A and B are shown apart, each in its own frame.
Chain A
Amino acid sequence: MGSQTSTYDFVERFKRGDTEAFSLVFRKYQRRLSVLVHYKMSAELRGAMEVEDVLQEVFLAAARDMHQFTYQSPGSLMAWLSRIADHVIVDAARYQNRDKRRAEELLRFRSESNPTGPEPVDSETPSRLFAREETAKNVLKKLDALPAEYREMIVLAKFEGLSTKEISERMGKSRESVALLLHRALKRFRELEATTGSS
């Protein structure tokens, strides 16, 4: 499939001003990043805003700052996006706390102060990636059911895309025990699959 070169190509194409290339990068990483963001966000923050919106901001920031990004290795774009996500989440949490936004007072559209007004067309909250997609919802459900340590293994390996060496550095464990943990995590995940899959 040659995806090594394609990521590099996308980055280069994008830097040359090809906006379509960015859409492709976006689509490529969107899903992994959304799971990652989901677990990076605190439960409180998750209640206050959509993963999708954080994601949106991550890609906006990435789009603007792409010229600062240098492609080093195949995984480096994902690592870079992950770092941006950290910043966005911290920023969003700060903003959310500082400014608990008052319920919008729509004047023309329906609101508390104007209960007879019409409902705006897009009053539906921003789309929920996970809610719409059955498989994604299932994956999240099962990840949530795992012990925290197992879940973290899968998130780091599968969604953040770290190598076992990087995971072992981050977790302060030997590479071997990381591999074992991952193995058990996946096995447990598989077992959950068997139980939930039937229902």
Chain B
Amino acid sequence: MSGRDPRNGPENRAEKASQKERAIAEALAEYVDRLSREEAVDIEAFCKATPELEKELRPLLESLTEMDGPPSSFPYEPAQEEGEELPDNLSGHKILGEIGAGGMGRVLLGFDERLGRKVAIKTLNRRYRDNESVRTRFMQEARALAQLSHPNIVRIFSLGQPGETPHFVMELVEGSSLVEAGRALTLGQKAELLQKVALAVDFLHAHQILHRDLKPTNILVGPDLEPKILDFGLAQHLESDGRRMTRPGEIMGTPDYFSPEHTVPGSRFDPRSDVFSLGAVLYEVLTGSPPFHAESFAEQVRQIREEAPILPRRRNPEVPGELQDICLKALEKKPENRYASAREMADDLERFLAGEKVHAAPTTYSSLMSGKVEQHLRELEGWREDQVVSEFEYDALRKDYGRLIERDDAWILNARRLSLPQVSLYLGAWIVTVGAALLFLFRFIDLSGTLAVVAVSGVAGLMAYHGVRLWKSGQLRIGIAYLLAFCLLLPIAFLVAFGEYHIFAKPAANLDWELLGRISKTFKQTTNAQIWWAVFISLPAYVWLRRFTRSSVFSLVLAVMTAWLCIVTLLRMGLLEWLDTDPGKFYFRLIFVALLFFVSAFAIERARLPNDSRYFYPFAVVFTFVALSGLAAVHQPYQEWLERTFPWTRGQIEYLFIINAAIYLVLQAVCERFSSAQMRAVAKAFRFAVPGHVLTSLLFLGLEATQRWYRHRDDLLMKREARTFEILVPVMACAFVYGSIRKQMKNYFVVGMIFLAIGLVRLQQDIFKQQSRWPIELLILGALLMVSATRYAAIKMAVARLVRRRV
């Protein structure tokens, strides 16, 4: 587009226009004005009015007219289809009348006199007959459809002869539309009908034909309750030739069954668009009205694109939840969320009919809930601002709401549900795993060498292949079982291969270090190194599965396997020997494993994968607990250090546990400083352990001190020590009870209460032996506490006044 050449610039030459040019321009303007009023202006006559300009004016006007293109391809005259006479006879069929008319042509009722049966004959409208390519395709399509033979798809009998009006003869289906027929049927019968339709649509898809105009009026149901699909594909295929002249007329009646992609210019159709229409038909059959319907077209398009349909159960409470699931799954906005094929929808309908659990897990529910819950959350925010709820209530409610809309995919929830097929699926996966494990655990004479490797890796490969395929086809729950089985089989396959080909087979320097040999001598020799490498090489597969499926379950697998890898690493360093001689060594190294998990969990959470990091934190916390408790219980140097530094502790491990409690307290304070929600949950876990550790230790210390004192009655120091602990237990218990307030730690409260009771009993047994003074005192103390609690505000004010007066 060049254009702005100064010499030819449109504007600057305007002034220099000649008189004649002005006259021509004026005439042209008049012509254009008449055109704008949609007048049909005859150029000949128009030019005659100003003969002096004709020579120049005529070509311009002709150019304008020629822009319309050849008149034949763009008929202004309405084609008089209505007036067309019915032919008497078409390919030997007597024409009895007209059944219906569409944009493409008419459907006539014919009678085959030789066979004595009625037929339907579809003809092509006259205005398309001259269009060679439309006609050819009309015939080609009919020919393609004639190849299909399916009980639920209308059959084509014959094609018109070349000399005749283009037409084809098909089976005459006498029946009513699906919705009409559905009114008298039970839910089961409706589901069965739809299942048949879905199978027939799948059959079309298998023959690479998209229907694209499924609607109840295109599905007729005969008295035998067999549905028949009509009008498939034809109009659409023809349309892709040249102009879509028929579209508006045809389409107007049925935007009710449009898929969202149908409403977006330029988007492609695929089998899932037909699935959507099937969903819309099912919806109407179940509820009596189509899922989306609005007065204006724009509004309807908006609804189809953006709004979730009203739940079928709201419209008809008799619709079972399972059918609702199927319906909503088919009506998902995004094609990838729908059934991947009509066959899958049919399978789910079959499951419903068989009384099994359907696979559909529509995302509609979660978006429905999250929409409402988010609204509540905003309200909640307001309640907190207005102090309708306390901070703690706010936090608790938020958490509960959060749990409702947690991005836990619906399929996971379903996978957790125990049903017969579900349990069998996982049981099968587990049996496969154990069976494979036997191959590396034991030696088999008739199944050894490459044969064993091929067997195990073959099964693993099959699981992976099948799992990925199932996953891709949207059967997530089943796919995940296969993929999980693969996760377990992978290291086993490596182990079998290592064992058979003697890779990493050199045992550790000390044979006692080998785990499997230690467990049982009957096992085939498998070295720790082999286990280590088998797990290590498998880790990338888990990472890949996590990325491929975007499912955090594989992070759990990764976490478990990493933990196992850490343990095997320790095994290779001599874990088994340590356990025999100095277990403290093991517990000490466990601290580093715990640290490793903390760091990786934190890194994963920072990488915005909170669903994955939540599997790593528990490992970190558990390893910390085990390591510190183990150290306190069995680590000699730790104990010796305590005895050396604080001789009065006598190195008793209860003191070490109290130190551990202090460490947890520090850890929780540290963890709490992080902004991450999961880190704060970790802090809570550490905090949780504190009262149990402290109070149990104090109790045991007290019991021991008392016994020691009983053995040496005159030792006053021992007596004081025993008494100290006796008093310390109830005092600390009270401290924990009150300590529960700040962080709302209910376990502080409960544990404190229990130990308070124990402490009070111990006091009665020992200090107040035989004295009724003690229970009486307790009764009075308790009652006083209760009264003061009821008069708390008044007492507080009184105390405040007293303090002020003093000042």
Contact = CB atoms under 8 A, between A and B. Distances in A.
Interface string A174-186: 0111111111111
B60 A166 contact: no
Contact of A74 (B2, B22, B37, B296): B37
B298 interface: yes
Contact of B297 (A50, A64, A122): A64
Contact of B37 (A22, A62, A75, A136): A75
Interface string A95-115: 110000100111111000100
Interface string A144-160: 11111110001001110
Contacts of A35: 67
Contacts of B67: 35, 139, 154, 158-159
A121 B208 contact: yes
A113 B40 contact: no
Contact of A23 (B38, B59, B64, B248): B248
A26 B248 contact: yes
B3 A60 contact: no
Contacts of A107: 271, 340-341, 472-473
Nearest to A19: B249
Interface in A41-83: 48-50, 52-54, 56-57, 59-65, 73-75, 78
Contact of A95 (B8, B73, B252, B264): B264
A90 B472 CA distance: 35
Interface residue range, chain A:
35 or more
B36 A175 contact: no
Please classify how large the interface on chain B is, using the bins under 10, 10 to 19, 20 to 34, 35 or more.
35 or more
Interface in B259-313: 263-271, 296-298, 300
B-side interface mostly: loop
Contacts of B300: 64
Interface string B20-48: 01101110110011011111100000000
Contacts of B246: 23
B3 A146 contact: yes
Contacts of A185: 10
Interface in A4-40: 4, 6-7, 19-20, 22-24, 26-28, 30-31, 35
B132 interface: no
Contacts of B267: 101
B341 A108 contact: yes
Contact of B252 (A19, A119, A175, A189): A19
B248 A3 contact: no
B21 A183 contact: yes
A108 B1 CA distance: 44
B244 A127 contact: yes
A167 to B, nearest CB: 8
Given A60-B255, A107-B472, A177-B14, A122 B237 contact: yes
A135 B21 contact: no
B297 A60 contact: yes
B36 A161 contact: yes
Given A3-B76, A31-B74, A49-B266, A105 B336 contact: yes
A125 B70 CA distance: 25
Given A48-B266, A61-B297, A108-B206, A56 B14 contact: no
Contacts of A147: 1-4, 8-10
Nearest to B38: A74
B14 A164 contact: no
A195 to B, nearest CB: 14
Contacts of B4: 147
B103 interface: yes
B297 A56 contact: no
Contacts of A75: 36-38
Contacts of A92: 264-266
Contacts of B40: 1-3
Interface in B468-514: 472-473
B28 A22 contact: no
Nearest to A148: B3
A146 B659 CA distance: 89
In the complex, the 4 A-B pairs of residues with the closest C-beta atoms, listed nearest first: A64-B297, A49-B266, A147-B3, A53-B265
26 contacts: A3-B40, A20-B249, A22-B248, A26-B248, A26-B249, A28-B76, A52-B244, A56-B265, A59-B248, A63-B248, A88-B265, A101-B267, A106-B271, A108-B340, A127-B239, A133-B69, A133-B242, A146-B1, A149-B11, A154-B67, A158-B64, A182-B28, A182-B32, A183-B24, A183-B25, A190-B60
Interface of B: 1-4, 8-11, 13-14, 17, 21-22, 24-26, 28-29, 32-33, 35-40, 59-60, 63-64, 66-70, 73-76, 78, 81-82, 103, 205-206, 208-210, 233, 236-237, 239-249, 251-253, 255, 263-271, 296-298, 300, 335-336, 340-341, 472-473
